[in-house]
Amino acid sequence: MLDIKSCTPEELAEYIESIGEKKFRAKQIYEWMHVHLARDYDEMTNIKKKLRETLKETTEYTSLEVKDMKESAIDGTRKYLFALSDGNMIESVMMRYRHGISVCISSQVGCRMGCRFCASTIDGVVRSLTPSEMLDQIYMISRDTGERVSNVVVMGMGEPLDNYDNLVRFIRLLTDENGLNISERNVTVSTCGIVPKIYDLMEEDFNITLALSLHAPTQEKREEIMPIAKSYDIDTVIRAMREYADNTKRRITYEYTLISGFNDSEEDAEDLIKLLGRQLCHVNLIPVNPIVERNYSATSETYVLNFKKKLEKNAINVTIRREMGRDIDGACGQLRRKHTESGAKEGLL
């Protein structure tokens, strides 16, 4: 069945004409889906009943069901657990900043990248999300809060570049001026570093921000925590990121999760400075979020500040990721794990 919310305006027009309807109906339906964020065809009041019935029979209209939602009493951050139409579950997060609402979405159910510190990958990948399922996370949160979403980060469960075609289509729909019209500049995609896909993304000519989950300053250390480093070594991925920045003129971000005693020493900072050299970039330091299944603990605050100072002395732009929703947290992927079988078996419930 046609996944209608994943259609471009042109594809939708073609389909509507193919079932003997006037082209302007496609425009109306597109607007219901992507501007008014309708949850089903029956909300489309200016579409006649007969056409709604045909659409129900011939297309798939994806929507999410809220299974759980936790709101932080500290800063209003919300963590959603959504069920997809096949019963699989994903997580999304809504954060409030001064400039508006930012939504962090998942791109896959689970993940197959195997990063040692990440809860999303423990049970592997189940499947990739469709463009409509990625949009639905933003649409549901916008409906739920009644506010406009201004920023989107693809940093939830899954590896977005392992779901490349759907990701690109999702970005096109999200930033379409006839849809939600989110500025490309307000979209960030985070990857563990699938190098050929970084080059593909560069060719798409988006104005989005690309973030690399770096997390270690040397090949040896990176390999220890991120299996992807065995396929694409650290110099190769840094070169790809540099080229991405040069070609798109967009400043890139390196995410660096500080793990106590592993990658947070003075020497690690020096190695990182050497690795990055001079380039248009920004380093985001993240205190590791301890996860029950793994034995990693976060670096103490003084260490984080020292690490930051050292990078700054070498003219590297650094921020420390503000911890949002401290009281509702648990690392990425943990809320879902609590609701899945293997998580329940391990006593996470």
Q: List residues with catalytic annotation.
A: 91, 332
Window 202-221: contact mask with ligand SAH (x via CB under 6 A): -----------x--------
Quickly count helices (H) and strands (E) in the chain: 13, 14
Q: Give the list of residues 6+ apart from residue 173 with CB closer than 8 angstroms, or none.
A: 6, 8, 34, 131, 135, 179
**Is 192 an interacting residue with respect to ligand SAH (CB under 6 A)?**
yes
Q: Near ligand SAH by CB under 6 A, which window of 46-54, 143-151, 288-296, 312-320?
A: 288-296
| Minimum distance from residue 213 beta carbon to ligand SAH (Å) | 4
Residue closer to ligand SAH (CB basis): 16 or 135: 135
Contact pattern for ligand SAH over residues 310 through 339, marking x by CB under 6 A: ---------------------xx-------
Which one, 109 or 332, has the nearer CB to ligand SAH? Answer: 332
Q: Kindly tell me which of 44 and 94 has the beta carbon lying closer to ligand SAH.
A: 94
Residue 234 lies near ligand SAH (rule: CB under 6 A) = no
Question: Residue 336: beta bridge partners?
Answer: none
Count of residues touching ligand SAH (by CB under 6 A): 18
Nearest to 150 by CA among 159, 158, 160, 141: 141
Q: 283 and 109 in contact (C-beta within 8 Å)? A: no
- Site residues (CB under 6 A) for ligand SAH, limited to 253-272: 255, 257
Whether 110 and 148 have beta carbons less than 8 Å apart is answered as no
Residues recorded for the chain:
349
Binding positions for ligand SAH, 92-151, rule CB under 6 A:
113, 115, 117-118
171-190 residues near ligand SAH, rule: CB under 6 A:
190
Task: Extract the tokens encoding 321.
Answer: 């990721």
Shortest distance in whole angstroms from residue 198 CB to ligand SAH: 12
- Compute the least distance from the CB of residue 157 to ligand SAH, in Å: 7
Residue from 191, 248, 253, 263 touching ligand SAH (CB under 6 A): that is 191
- 159 forms part of the interface with ligand SAH (CB under 6 A): yes
* Candidate list 81, 291, 328, 335; residue touching ligand SAH; CB under 6 A: 291
Q: Which amino acid is at 250?
A: R
Cβ distance 260 to 300 under 8 Å? yes
Between 59 and 108, CB nearer to ligand SAH: 108
DSSP secondary structure of 57-122: HHEE----EEEEEEE-TTT--EEEEEE-TTS-EEEEEEEEETTEEEEE--SEEE-SS--TT-GGGT
Taken in order 152, 331, 255, 76, is the CA torsion positive or negative?
Answer: positive
Query: What secondary structure does DSSP assign to 273-316, as a single string?
Result: HHHH-S-SEEEEEEE----TTS---BPPHHHHHHHHHHHHHTT-
User: Which residue ranges make up the site for ligand SAH (CB under 6 A)?
Assistant: 113, 115, 117-118, 155, 159, 190-192, 213, 255, 257, 286, 288-289, 291, 331-332
